[in-house]
Each structure stands twice: as C-alpha cells, then as structure tokens.
Amino acid sequence: MKPADLAARALTLLPAETAHRAAIRGLKAGFGPKDTGLADPVLATSIAGIELAHPVGLAAGFDKNAEAPDALLAAGFAFVEVGAVTPRPQAGNPKPRVFRLREDRAVINRMGFNNEGLEAVKARLQARKGRPGVVGVNLGANKESQDKAADYVLLLKELSGLADFFTVNVSSPNTPGLRSLQTGPALDALLARVAEARWAEPVFLKLAPDLEPGDVEPILKAVQTYKLSGLVVSNTTLARPDTLGSARKDEAGGLSGAPLFARSTELLARFRRAAGPGLPIIGVGGISSAETAYAKIRAGANALQLYTALIYEGPGLAVKIRDGLAQLLKRDGFERLSDAVGADL
C-alpha cells in the first residue's frame, strides 16, 4: 500500500470531521499523492465544452473552502469541484454532524453548508487564476437567507471568471427549504434569475436522488428554457435502505456511499432517457470502483464525481478507477468513452 493510502487509513481512526480537517492540512502541506501517469486516450471526453483527459472528478464537499484544488488535481482527478460556498460565512449545524457507517461503506452527514464564505473562496480562486486544471464551484444559499435565489445570483456574479464551471446546489438535505427549489414554480423562478446572472462558464444544476418520477420532465423543461449547461445527478439521500447494518443508520442527514449507488444510478438513467444524448450529465453517488464508474457511464453519465469511497479506499482511488475504466471500455470494444454513454439504455 502506498504511503498516502496508509495515511488515509490512519485518518479513519480519528473522528470523521477531525480526520477531514487533517486531510486538508496534509494536502496543503504537500503530503498528498502525486500521480505521474497519463490517462489512456480512450478516456478523453468533453462535457459542456470542458475538455477532460478522463471522466473522474472529485465531488463538492471535500474541499469546501478551495484550500487544496491543485493538490487534488495532482492526485489524479481530472477535475475538482470546491464548495459548497455561501455568500456569508456559515458555521453549519451543531457537531457531531458526520457519521461513518463502516459496515455499509457509507456516510451520513448533516453539515449544513459550513464554509468560510464568498470572500475567502474568491481570494483563493483569484490566487490560483491561470494555473492548469479544471476547477468548478458548488454554490449554496445561507440558511438564514430569505431570498435564496439572490444568494446564487450574487455568487455567480462575484466568482465568474475564476472557475471553469459552477453548480447550483438546490439538493442538499441539510438546509431547511432548499430542496423545495428543485421543482415547480420555485425552480423556474430560481433559474430565470440564474440565467440573467451567469457569464460564460457552464452552469449545472445538482439534484437530489429523492425526486419523484413525475419531476423529471418539468426539471428538464426548466433546464432547457433557461439554458443551463447540464445536470449533476445526484446529491445525498434521505432514504434509509433496509440493507443498512450500521448502528448509526438512523442519524439525521444525507446518506452517501455504496448504498446510494442503485438509487442515484436509476435516477441518472431516467434523466438520460428523457433528455436524449445531448444533455451533459455528471454522475455521482456510490462510485467506489472502475466497475461502478463504468455502470454510471453506461447509464448515461458523461463524467463522474466521487467522494465517500475515498474515506474507505484511500486517495489513490481516482487513478485506480481511471485506469480500470480504460480497460473496461477496451474490453467491450469502445473506441472512446463517449460511445459508452447510455449504452445500457
């Protein structure tokens, strides 16, 4: 096992949030893994005009304050999404608020968009401007904001030009009222204001896995009407599958990791079938291996993000998935990754 993976395993002995903070400090200090390999050309892809050497990215939630995106890119991720960031600094929900479900290879969190706020993230993104690597920003609303749409508009205006893409996150289960913005007139009102505020960068909409089947078509219509670039499917779930075996399974918050895979992949496929081949979709939820990554692609994902599996598999997971995915594509006769998108539908 590589030293970075050993260090990651050691961190699992610490309380979850303490371990996370230690991991960020280690990355900032230069102790993260360094990937010197090249992605197989079969993996090269493009999503919403963003060119990627391979499809494996890091989901939002790990580097909330944009402290270590370059170290994470150096570890082998093709792209990194920082945040969620809110306009004003926010402490988040009371601790403890992160729970490892080891038996289930899962995590429950009720963090509540804890972050240092717009100004801190903006300063760090300005400092790295011009450096190589694809970095996006996950946008959130402050808990106390009465006009949450105004928070997204402000963030887009202030951060435009400093990131490669943005994600409007209306699917966290840990900010009261936020998920109500995903559907119906509230979504239309939000996206209309987002459309007026955005600049040149692609803007994605991040959705919850707990949507109803009848929500798919109206969401796609709103995305098309307001010319968003694509979807991120999906965030954490409030559901608790019967298969969960951990004593922590009934903690409040969003469930991520292996138990989310089937639910999030089913929703991804539903959106792909309804949207057709043209809409960019980033697949997230339960990816822990090359095989699960491949299943997301065959269900309709153009690119991928992971996070929870890193806790159990170590920071070398991105490269393992990248290289294994190339082998699977070649095994099945695909000349390029895009040919496999939606192959199972």
Residues with catalytic annotation?
172
Return the exposure string of 97-135: e unless at least 16 CB atoms fall within 10 Å of the residue's CB, then b: bbbbbeebbbbbbbbbbbbbebeebbebbeeeeeeeebb
- Sheet architecture: strand order including 254-257: 98-101, 106-109, 254-257
Integer Cα distance of 189 and 210 in angstroms: 21
DSSP, collapsed to helix, strand or coil, labels residue 109 as strand
H or E element at residue 267: helix 261-275
DSSP, collapsed to helix, strand or coil, labels residue 335 as coil
Integer Cα distance of 107 and 309 in angstroms: 9
164 contact partners, CB below 8 Å, separation of at least 6: 50, 79, 134, 135, 136, 201, 202
> In the block, which residue shows the tokens 């298969």?
243
For every residue of 175-214, DSSP letters joined together read: STTGGGGGSHHHHHHHHHHHHHH--SS-EEEEE-TT--GG
* Cβ count near 38 (within 10 Å): 10
Integer Cα distance of 162 and 164 in angstroms: 7
